[in-house]
Structure formats: structure tokens, C-alpha cells
Structure 1
Amino acid sequence: MSSPSDVASGFSISGLLDESSLTRERFPIVEIDVGAIEGHPANIAYSMDERSIANLARSIEKDGLTDIPLVRKLDDGRWQMISGHRRLEAYRLLASGDDSFARIPCRVVEGLTDSQAVTLLHTANYFVRALTVTERARATEALGLEAERLRAENPDLKGMRTADIKASMVYEQTGRTVSPKTIRREEKLAKVINESLSRHWAQEADEGRLSASSVDMLKDLPKEKQARLFAGRPAGLNKKETTDYLKEELGVEEEADRRLVRILDDLRSYASSHLGEASSADRKAVAEIKRLSARIAKLVG
């Protein structure tokens, strides 16, 4: 039966990237034509933007290739990248102007199953390079498919939470610890970023430039208002200063109940958009708001 540790089964990142003679013998480094290596379909989860590839190419041209990519040979003889897609693209960019980069050194990992290849790709990306919040979440979400397969094969895992299995796979393949709580928090935050934040705020949060409290203040606001807040933000604010800016703009006291802030925002929106004679239902609602406001004022006064 499979378990989270079986997924690694001798193919850990820490083991593959060391320079012991045993590693060199078992996983030899060969030079492969950059045009002969295919990307792995699962790598679509990660950014391959041209600017970062160009920066990486300049770094490789100056300092050389510091991390050797991992590849496997498919049954039909094709080469497939496992870890190192950005390095491969950087080499291809350099090769367009310098033939010395037409071949890239790669460590060949034989005997990988498709499941092991996918798991290795995501766990490698999780630690080998800097990821945005959403990229890290996509990595662990992708591991969830493997976790479900393991749970189906091994009855002992049926009571184990998916995040715990994911954390175990990351540890077995990288030798580094990530807590199940962190995995759940990052996946939840990525969902908020993708679904509840306006485009510019989402980019700020994704790249780690927004505090959790800033995200919490923004997530329930209309995206039009979020856009206005972003446009009005002074340039050059750091993470804490951005949080303070949002608190001031939204009238959030240090310990304010955000439910009240959202209610106040809704009332302001109603007042600014209301046209014509108020309906009977609206007048009753306003009367109830006044009554509750008076009651709250006594409580906090």
C-alpha cells in the first residue's frame, strides 16, 4: 500500500541536489539540446513571465547555472522537464544569441512514475524558488490529487486530513517542514485573492506586500471601492503603512468590529445612490437603524 513517504521513494529533492558520489552515479548529469526537452503539463500552475526569465538569463550568463534541472526520459524516448522550466527557458533565450547555451546540463532521474513526477515537480517548486501566494497554493492544491489517490489505496490514511498528507509529501521530498495549518491558510488566502480582491490589490497580496488585516479589510468591499482606494494610496507605502492607510480611509479603529465597518459602508453606499421617495419598507428600516444606533451609543458611551 502507498503512503506519503512512498511517493518520494528515493527521489527526494534534498537527495537529488546533493553532490555525493552516489547521487552522481545514480542520477548522472548529461547535456541535452534545449530544443529536445518538453515542459511538464503540470507546470502550467506557475508563472513563466518574460521579464523574470530575462533576468534569470542574465544571471546565468554572468554566474553560470547554479541549480541543475531535473529531467526524465519518457518511454518513447522524449525528454521531459521535472524541475527547471524557468532555467530551460532562460537557456533557450541565451541560445538564440550564443550557441554555447544550445545544450543545458540536466540531472536524469530514471524510474519515475507519472505520479512521482507530478509530486516531485510541485514539491520542488515549493522550496527551490520563490513563489507567489497563489503559486504556493496551486502547488499544494495539486498535491491534493495525489493525496486522494494515496487515501484510496491505503485504508490507514482514510482518517488523515488532506493537508496532513500534503505536508508529509513536502517533507519526504524536500526534507523541509511545512505545517498543515500553513498549507490550509495559504490555500484559503489564495482563494480570497482570486475571488474577492480587485486586480491591483490582488497583485499586491499575491506578492506578499499586503498584511492579513489589509486583505481582511478589503475582501468584503465592492471592487469599485477597492479600485478607488488603490488609486488614492500614496506611493511608496510599505506593508504596515498600507494597513494604516486602509484603516484611516475606512474608519477602522484599532480594535473596531469589522461587521460595523461594513454596515457603515453599506449605509453610505445606500445614501449616495438613493434617489426619489423612500419606500415604506425603507422608512421602517431607517427607523430600526436609528433605534439600534441609539442603543449601541449607550453601550459604548
Structure 2
Amino acid sequence: MAGRKSDFTLTKLDDLFTTQAQRDEEQLSKIRDIPLELIDDFPDHPFKVRDDEDMMQLVESVKERGVITPATVRQKEDGRYELVSGHRRKRACELAGFETLRSEIVDLNRDEATILMVESNFQRSEILPSEKAFAYKMRLEAMKRQAGRPRKENVSPVGTNLRTDEQIAQETGDSRNQIHRYVRLTNLVSELLEFVDEGRIKMRPAVELSYLDEDCQRDVVDEIDLNDATPSHDQTIRMRKLFNEGNLTTEAIHAVMSEEKPNQKEKIVLRGDRVRQLIPKNIPVSQTEDFVCKALEHYNKFLRNRAERDSR
């Protein structure tokens, strides 16, 4: 039937001429305890390693049972090792007082290692927007470079014609547009990106701000600190429009950011039953608002007159 995907996949060449036992033994030969001092973190690793409660639990687990799942490393030209996956396990071993990390040594180039690093870290239960942003950017760039390279002879030649962003979208559940929104966040200054991680600035306003240059973004940060309020989506759209027109000055940013947003206006709640008891019954409903306003005006005048008398 047209359009139906086949479940058939080609077997790797090595798998045709080796037994499962031989392959398992070969994999075990690549697993060893490597001194922590010889293992370098992955360059520009986008995922934060925090010494939080989860880390302390991992430390206790490592102390009791060791590292159950080996970390993944690749050997560098200088003889040291580059950590591909297992940054939390490495940190746990350091905190537990271990001197080595059980690791599997893999033969990967930089782009292959980048793709594996991102894939393995996306299994975390919690990922910050900033972590996703730089991870998506690194993986997209690596996949685009990989697309132009010849495949290794042991890799199955069955491929896809999917765009890199489409492939990542299928694997992660984020839409293509959402992936590119995350990547835009990498253009934010660190303070704004931190606001996004904290949930103070939502995705859509953050994306609009990412189109401003660094100086304008710094001015926005100053206004956030001054007003203790973050910009709305509408405000960021207007600032981006002004920036594109060459009119986004420090004064313009201040003017936009100083506006009171609807959700920041303090609401006055009046109990209807109490108010109705104070309004004469002969006042029509249509005149209720006018009556209440005039009553408040008279009361305010009374308070001012009393304050003047007391000050004499």
C-alpha cells in the first residue's frame, strides 16, 4: 500500500559475521574505570549540573552500589577523555570521594558526540528553557554538518529525507516552530535568559526580545529592575517594531516599559450586597454608579476639610 512504512531495517555489517557473545565481549572491553582527573567535560555543555537534593540522592546511590550505568566518553588526541554523557554521574563520584568513573569509550567525531550528548540529556525529568535552547542549537548545527558527510561503513544506510528540525520534532514532541523559538533564546543576554528560566518572562515575549541588539536588551533589563515588572507580549512586539525601524532608543524603551499593564492594575473589589444597602431605594439602577461616585467625592471632601482643621 502506498505510503506505508516498512519495518525492515538492514543489519549492520559487523553483526552478520559476529555472535552476540562476541559483540557483548567487545563492548565490555571498551568499559573501564577512568581517573576523574583525565576526564574533561563536554565543551559548551548546555545542561547544568546542580548540587541539589536529587544530586545528594545520586551520591548516596553511588556510594552504595557504584555507577550502575557507565558514562560515555571519547578519547581525545592528547590522550585525555571527553565526557559525552554522564556529567551528573561524574559529579556524584567527585562528591562521593571516588577517584575514577566507570565509562564506556566510544569512537565518535565531534558532531556525533554532540548529537549523542543532547539525546542522552533529554532523558532528564526537568530541563530549563535555556538548556533546551542551547541543546537544540548545538544538535541542529551538528546534524546539518553530518548530513553532508559520508556514512561510516558499519552504519545502516537506511536514512530519511526529513529536515533536521522535523526529525528532532518527532523525537522530542516539540513542534518545529517551538524548536526554533527555543533556538532564538540563545540570542538573549544572560539576565533575560535567567528571567525566562525563572518563569518571569514567557516564551513569546522572550523571542521578540531576542531580535533586539545587546544594548537594547541591557536597557530592557534595567527597566525590569526599575519597575519590578517584565514586559508583556504586546510591549515586546512594539519594541521589536521600533528596533527594526531604527527608533528604539533608551527613552523609547522606558516609555513602553513604564506603561501599566492590565494584569498589573490593582483591582478594587466591592461587595455588592453591602453597597446596595447603602444606596437609597429610590435611586434607579441606571444611576447607581453616578450616586456612588458622588458619595465618594463628598466623603473625600469631608476628609480633606477635617485634615485642614486638625492641622491648624
TM-score (norm 2): 0.50
Evaluate the alpha carbon distance shift between residue 215 and residue 116 of structure 1 in structure 2; reply closer, same or farther with a 3 A threshold. Answer: closer
Aligned residue for 1:58? 56
Evaluate the alpha carbon distance shift between residue 267 and residue 81 of structure 1 in structure 2; reply closer, same or farther with a 3 A threshold. Answer: closer
Cα deviation, residue 78, structure 1? 3.4
In 2, the alpha carbon distance for the partners of 1:130 and 1:80 equals 24
Cα deviation, residue 121, structure 1? 1.4
Aligned residue for 1:128? 124
Equivalent position SS for 2:123? helix
In 2, the alpha carbon distance for the partners of 1:267 and 1:141 equals 29
Aligned residue for 1:33? 35
Cα deviation, residue 41, structure 1? 2.4
Aligned residue for 1:150? 146
Evaluate the alpha carbon distance shift between residue 36 and residue 202 of structure 1 in structure 2; reply closer, same or farther with a 3 A threshold. Answer: closer
Cα deviation, residue 67, structure 1? 5.0
Task: Report sequence identity in percent.
Answer: 20
Aligned residue for 2:227? 229
Deviations 1:189-228 (A, max 9, x none): 443xx14xx82x5423124454346647988883332112
In 2, the alpha carbon distance for the partners of 1:113 and 1:218 equals 35
Q: Which protein has the bigger helix share?
A: 1
Equivalent position SS for 1:31? strand
Evaluate the alpha carbon distance shift between residue 73 and residue 214 of structure 1 in structure 2; reply closer, same or farther with a 3 A threshold. Answer: closer
In 2, the alpha carbon distance for the partners of 1:112 and 1:258 equals 43
Deviations 1:22-61 (A, max 9, x none): 9965543433322232323242x4435xxx2365552223
Evaluate the alpha carbon distance shift between residue 149 and residue 189 of structure 1 in structure 2; reply closer, same or farther with a 3 A threshold. Answer: closer
Equivalent position SS for 1:53? coil
Evaluate the alpha carbon distance shift between residue 76 and residue 225 of structure 1 in structure 2; reply closer, same or farther with a 3 A threshold. Answer: closer
In 2, the alpha carbon distance for the partners of 1:216 and 1:145 equals 20
Aligned residue for 2:71? 69
Number of corresponding residues: 209
Aligned residue for 1:188? 184
Q: Is 1:204 matched with 2:195?
A: yes
In 2, the alpha carbon distance for the partners of 1:212 and 1:103 equals 41
Q: Of the two, which has the highest radius of gyration?
A: 2
Output the amino acid matched with 1:206. Answer: D
In 1, the alpha carbon distance for the partners of 2:56 and 2:113 equals 29
In 1, the alpha carbon distance for the partners of 2:99 and 2:253 equals 63
Cα RMSD for the two superposed structures = 4.6
Evaluate the alpha carbon distance shift between residue 23 and residue 123 of structure 1 in structure 2; reply closer, same or farther with a 3 A threshold. Answer: farther
Aligned residue for 1:47? 48
Cα deviation, residue 81, structure 1? 1.4
Cα deviation, residue 119, structure 1? 1.7
Structure 1: gaps spanning 5 or more residues = 1-8, 11-19, 96-100, 234-241, 273-301
Structure 2: gaps spanning 5 or more residues = 1-10, 13-19, 151-158, 213-218, 243-250, 259-312
Give the one of 135, 140, 145 matched to 2:136.
140
Evaluate the alpha carbon distance shift between residue 257 and residue 183 of structure 1 in structure 2; reply closer, same or farther with a 3 A threshold. Answer: closer
In 1, the alpha carbon distance for the partners of 2:181 and 2:253 equals 32
Please show how residues 1-301 of structure 1 align to structure 2 within 5 Å: 25=25, 27-28=27-28, 29-43=31-45, 45-48=46-49, 52-53=50-51, 55=53, 57-64=55-62, 65=67, 68-74=70-76, 77-95=79-97, 101-106=98-103, 108-128=104-124, 130-153=126-149, 161-164=163-166, 166-167=168-169, 171=171, 176-191=172-187, 194-195=188-189, 199=191, 202-208=193-199, 210-212=201-203, 215=206, 222-230=220-228, 259=238, 266=252, 269=255
8 Å CA contact 2:32–2:102 kept in 1: the answer is yes
In 2, the alpha carbon distance for the partners of 1:177 and 1:258 equals 27
TM-score (norm 1): 0.51
8 Å CA contact 1:57–1:94 kept in 2: the answer is no
Cα deviation, residue 184, structure 1? 1.0
8 Å CA contact 1:39–1:81 kept in 2: the answer is yes
In 1, the alpha carbon distance for the partners of 2:128 and 2:85 equals 17
Evaluate the alpha carbon distance shift between residue 30 and residue 225 of structure 1 in structure 2; reply closer, same or farther with a 3 A threshold. Answer: same
Output the amino acid matched with 2:227. Answer: L
Higher relative contact order (CA 8 A, sep 6+): 1
In 1, the alpha carbon distance for the partners of 2:113 and 2:204 equals 37
8 Å CA contact 1:132–1:208 kept in 2: the answer is no
Cα deviation, residue 87, structure 1? 2.5
Aligned residue for 1:16? none
